[in-house]
Amino acid sequence: MFILHAAFRRALRSQHRLRNGLPSFVIVIVDAEEIGDSHRKAAELALTGRVEPWPHLRRQSKAYVHVLDPPSKKKPKLATAILREHGRHESILMLARNRSEVPEELTILADDVVDLEPPTAAHINAVRCLLGRCRIDESTATAIAGLDFSVMVLLACRPQVTLEVVRRLVAVHRAPIADAVPRLEELPGYGSAREWALAFIEDVRRFNRGQMDWMHMDRGVLLYGPPGTGKTLFAKALAKSAGLPLIAASVSQWQSYGHLGDLLGAMRRTFETAQAQQPAIVFLDELDAIGDRTQFADHHANYSRQVVNYLLESIDGAGGRHQIVVIGATNFPEVIDAALLRSGRLERHIPVSLPDEKERFDILQFHLKLTNDIEGLRDIAADLEGWNGADLEMIGREAKRIGRRQSRSVQVADVASSLPPVQELSEESLRRIAIHEAGHVVVGHMLSPHANISVAIRRRVRWLGSQVRQRGGAVRYELPTDERSLDTRDQLESLICRILAGAAAEEILLGCRSSGFSGSKGSDLDEATILATQMVASYGMGRSLPFLIDFRQVTAESARRLPNGLREDVSRILDQQYSRATAILIEHSALLDRIATELFERETLTVGDVTYLIEDSVAPTRQADMLALSARGI
């Protein structure tokens, strides 16, 4: 009764009308399988004020606690009886098992709907003090507070209780990972993230066998990559395969609890829950929402700084993290505070990229389980470059739905029917794309003659929603192993020159450049701007030597925030390399035109094709030079 009374008082502390004796109607979501007599009595104590009442409620006589019965098929859920009580009493407290059972009209009428949160460690020790029991340490009390109510009360009342006993009970009552979640070994794709995860799972098994200490495990991991690549599913599958509980949270979820104090409290409870269930995995989604203390605006800086600092303390406070692995997921790793990413915290940074052709096939086959026409499915997977795992899962669901409608198993034809329509590019657009990609090829070869270069364009692209998920063209550029080294100023400038060469080629052969090289994250102009900003603000390669931004946190947005002098440096580098690319392409305009023409007609040029075209174009020039020298008697 004491624990429940404390929980109700805590849930209602934000209800100022109720606390000040004004007419109120508040719904409390108990989140229990059954609302018992203890819940009702504890709510009455909190409402009528028999136990340490609020002063105004001591005099409150027209108060009423109503327990909402669960809906029944025989007896539909009606709100009329409760509405009649609403007219008879000044203060009503309604208890419901969950939000879905509350009639919509009551939700509209209520002053507020609040959740009955679990007790805290302080509540557990307060009960023990009330019963004359000795206090227990914070970790043990927190673990007890996370158990089912009946077990929690039993342990809280025991004269002696140890953390080991509590942890054994936690293991018994631990909710298993949903059966719908596959094991990591069953999931296709994920590349280097998969390799790390399989090694981690094996280490957990060694730890369980007593063959290694937890201190040798990774402390934290940051998964980063484009949206829809399956970072959340990865964390769930990892937890299932490792046999560890997964405590999932996000900054937006913490923020939903209310003001700063509530946010920090929710953050603390996430890690307290993990402590009670350790060894465990804490999964923090949308970690970029936490921000970077060096980038906070002045009017939000104090609030945001406290959030970051508290997360740092929670992840790696004075007491350490014990047997907890923290996995963070983000689409924007560059905006995360550097202190979170250092060794000992989220120390390992693993990209989760868009699936390649083989992985796309594996993902489709994972969802479809086809037995016939496997090669047809491979052809479809090859045509879906740029699609993420979520897109492919959606296609799989739609294909299976088509099969169900016709009362048969899914077929490859159903997958083809599920794909969004193909849009044929106009001849003008395709020629512009060919010229753009040819510009990259020519400048790339002139700046690195030994590089292996191939190029392809796409005449047809598929739209998914309002977006084109497939690029119109792409150049594959690979340097020989012996030419790879630390980046120098010359190499970075050449890379920027090559990136801007596509737009320069459009301007030379077509008279103007299009928006195809800019306008979005990952575009040519975005990449070139990031590189130029890194040179100026991270590498000391501008006209001065300041170190202002970690190179991993440089974005086009951070370039905008640089001092005027450094922004001018970035613009100067971009202008110089664009002019350099233009000069190279003008000098080799015949080669540019020939590669663009061949690409337009054939759509794909292999490394051998590109090499042949370059050598075939250069040979007549060399022959003419030799004839000229011979005529001059040299």
* Domain of residue 104, CATH code: 3.40.50
Per-residue pLDDT at 63: 63
Per-residue pLDDT at 567: 87
Banded pLDDT at 197 (limits 50, 70, 90):
very high
pTM for the model stands at: 0.62
Out of 381, 396, 419, pick the residue that ends a domain: 419
Which of 437, 493, 506, 598 does the annotation list as catalytic? Answer: 437
The answer, yes or no, to whether residue 86 has pLDDT greater than 60, is no
Our CA dihedral for 401, 405, 410, 413, rounded to 10 degrees, sits at -90
Query: Which residue did the predictor score with more confidence, 43 or 75?
Result: 43
Percentage of the residues of the chain whose pLDDT score is greater than 90? 18
Is omega for the bond preceding 279 within 30 degrees of 0, making it cis?
Answer: yes
The answer, yes or no, to whether residue 628 has pLDDT greater than 70, is no
Average pLDDT score over residue span 427-440: 93
Per-residue pLDDT at 300: 60
Query: Which residue did the predictor score with more confidence, 452 or 67?
Result: 452
The three-class DSSP label of residue 328 is: strand
Q: Among 63-72, 216-225, 569-578, where is mean pLDDT lowest? A: 63-72
Per-residue pLDDT at 576: 95
- 439 and 570, same structural domain? yes
- 340-358 core/surface letters (b: 16 or more CB in 10 A; e: else): bbeeebbebebebbbbeee
The answer, yes or no, to whether residue 436 has pLDDT greater than 90, is yes
Residue 178 lies in a domain: no
Banded pLDDT at 633 (limits 50, 70, 90):
low
Average pLDDT score over residue span 316-335: 76
**What DSSP state is assigned to residue 290?**
G
In 3D, which of 445, 418, 383 has the Cα closest to residue 603? 383
Query: Which residue did the predictor score with more confidence, 460 or 603?
Result: 603
Paired tokens of 163: 């953390």
Per-residue pLDDT at 318: 41
Alpha helices in 343-473 (DSSP H): 357-368, 374-382, 389-405, 412-418, 427-447
Distance CA 190, CA 184 (A): 10
Q: Among 310-314, 547-551, 624-628, where is mean pLDDT lowest? A: 624-628
Residue 633 lies in a domain: no
Question: What do you get for the CA distance between the two ends of the chain, in Å?
Answer: 107
- 490 and 438, same structural domain? yes
The three-class DSSP label of residue 424 is: strand
Average pLDDT score over residue span 228-241: 89
Residue 626 lies in a domain: no
Per-residue pLDDT at 202: 92
Query: Which residue did the predictor score with more confidence, 600 or 624?
Result: 600
Q: Among 402-406, 437-441, 495-499, where is mean pLDDT lowest? A: 402-406
Which amino acid type is present at position 189?
G
Q: Among 35-49, 160-174, 185-199, where is mean pLDDT lowest? A: 160-174
The three-class DSSP label of residue 584 is: helix
pLDDT digits (tens, 9 = 90+) for 538-569: 888 888 887 877 776 677 667 777 888 888 89
Q: Among 10-24, 299-313, 461-475, where is mean pLDDT lowest? A: 461-475
Segments forming the whole domain that contains residue 368: 357-419
- 223 and 202, same structural domain? yes
Residue 629 lies in a domain: no
- 399-427 core/surface letters (b: 16 or more CB in 10 A; e: else): bbebbeeeeeebbbebbeebbeeeeebee
- 497 and 562, same structural domain? yes
Residue 125 lies in a domain: yes
Paired tokens of 34: 């059954």
The answer, yes or no, to whether residue 299 has pLDDT greater than 80, is no
- 435 and 540, same structural domain? yes
Q: Residue 526 to residues 323, 499, 530, 554: CA-CA distances in angstroms?
A: 41, 10, 6, 11
- 572 and 434, same structural domain? yes
Number of domains in the chain: 5
Out of 321, 351, 381, pick the residue that ends a domain: 351
Per-residue pLDDT at 507: 94
- 44 and 154, same structural domain? no
DSSP per residue over 606-628, as a string? -HHHHHHHHHHHHHHHHHHHHHH
Q: Residue 67 to residues 58, 338, 352: CA-CA distances in angstroms?
A: 22, 50, 48
Average pLDDT score over residue span 424-446: 92
Q: What mean pLDDT is reported for the chain?
A: 80
* Domain of residue 519, CATH code: 1.20.58.760
* Highest mean pLDDT (candidates 119-133, 269-283, 470-484, 591-605): 591-605
- 433 and 559, same structural domain? yes
Per-residue pLDDT at 288: 83
- 401 and 379, same structural domain? yes
Tell me which residue has tokens 């020519």. 442
Distance CA 473, CA 458 (A): 6
The answer, yes or no, to whether residue 457 has pLDDT greater than 50, is yes
Residue 374 lies in a domain: yes
Residues composing the chain: 634
Contact 274, 322 (CB under 8 A): no
pLDDT digits (tens, 9 = 90+) for 400-426: 999 888 888 889 999 888 887 777 888
Which amino acid type is present at position 248?
A
- 128 and 60, same structural domain? no
pLDDT digits (tens, 9 = 90+) for 361-375: 999 998 888 888 888
- 387 and 306, same structural domain? no
The answer, yes or no, to whether residue 347 has pLDDT greater than 80, is yes
Average pLDDT score over residue span 515-532: 84
Per-residue pLDDT at 64: 66
**Beta strands in 331-411, from DSSP E residues, in sequence order:** 348-351
- How, if at all, do strands 280-285 and 246-250 pair? parallel
In 3D, which of 115, 232, 227 has the Cα closest to residue 177? 232
Residue 437 annotated among the catalytic residues of the structure: yes
Per-residue pLDDT at 354: 85
* Domain of residue 414, CATH code: 1.10.8.60
Count the neighbouring beta carbons within 10 Å of the beta carbon of residue 115.
Answer: 13
Q: Among 112-116, 322-326, 579-583, where is mean pLDDT lowest? A: 112-116
**β partners of residue 93:** 26, 65
Helix 37-48 and helix 2-11: axis angle, to 10°?
Answer: 60
Tell me which residue has tokens 């800019």. 518
Contacts of 7 (CB under 8 A, 6+ apart): 42, 116, 117, 118, 119, 123
Residue 146 lies in a domain: yes
In 3D, which of 441, 431, 437 has the Cα closest to residue 517? 437
Out of 115, 139, 158, pick the residue that ends a domain: 115
Banded pLDDT at 319 (limits 50, 70, 90):
very low
- 336 and 190, same structural domain? yes
Banded pLDDT at 346 (limits 50, 70, 90):
confident
Per-residue pLDDT at 50: 52
Query: Which residue did the predictor score with more confidence, 581 or 147?
Result: 581
Residue 487 lies in a domain: yes
